[in-house]
Amino acid sequence: MLGMLIFLFLVLALVGYFIGIYNGLVRVRAAVKLAWSNIDVLLVQRHDELPKLVEVCRQYMQYEAATLERVMRARAGVDAARSAGNLSSLGAAERDLRSGLSGLYAVAENYPQLKASEPFRHLQERISGLETAIADRREVYNEAANTNNVRIATFPDALVARLGDFPEVALLHFQSDQKADVDLKAAFSR
């Protein structure tokens, strides 16, 4: 009788242990989804602000249509990568957008009335703030994704991860040219 109770206790303890692992993996997976959602919110906000900036610039820059078009094409590329959840193309699209924005800000230097415009300054500050927030959220996402990937690769969590739906999550990797600051000197010399 005592042997049966000990065996039952061990089985219940083991089941409880694996339930704890499963719940921990669920929390980690939810943290990754939350981190991506936070990036997504900021990308959408920036996506919504860019047409306003382009429209304010368009009022002053009648002869700079190519610069404005470049920003809008880059905006569409980021939105397409974001919507598809394609992390590899998101990095390239982000680089194109940052380059287009630096070109836009450089051209704006030639328009003192535009630079003095309150809507332009407000939108420029808003978009710059969003850029900083996006960079911060990328770090949080990568930390959550790394935690997820370590948990599903280590024993005994790997056993539970293989039985459940806990796939590895891609990190947001950026090539060195995508991480580098935009060369404003080159942008201003155009």
Q: Which of 78, 74, 79 is nearest to 100 (CA)?
A: 74
Reported as a pLDDT band with limits 50, 70 and 90, residue 114 is confident
Average pLDDT on 83-93 reads 85
Whether 81 maps to a domain, the answer reads yes
Q: Which amino acid is at 161?
A: A
Whether 124 maps to a domain, the answer reads yes
Whether 9 maps to a domain, the answer reads no
Whether 2 maps to a domain, the answer reads no
Q: Which amino acid is at 142?
A: N
In sequence order, what are the residues at sequence separation of 6 or more whose Cβ sits closer than 8 angstroms to the Cβ of residue 119?
Answer: 52, 56
Whether 79 maps to a domain, the answer reads yes
Phi-psi region of 85 (alpha: psi -120 to 50; beta: other; left: phi over 0): left
pLDDT digits (tens, 9 = 90+) for 17-50: 999 999 999 999 999 999 999 999 999 999 999 9
Reported as a pLDDT band with limits 50, 70 and 90, residue 91 is confident
Burial of 57 (0-12, 13-18, 19+ CB in 10 A): buried
- Cα angle, residue 90 at apex, residues 86 and 91 outer, rounded to 5°: 130
Average pLDDT on 47-55 reads 91
Whether 3 maps to a domain, the answer reads no
Phi-psi region of 173 (alpha: psi -120 to 50; beta: other; left: phi over 0): beta
Whether 58 maps to a domain, the answer reads yes
Which range marks the domain in which residue 141 is found?
Answer: 31-188
Q: What's the CATH code of the domain at 168? A: 1.20.1440.20
Report how many domains make up the chain: 1
Whether 24 maps to a domain, the answer reads no
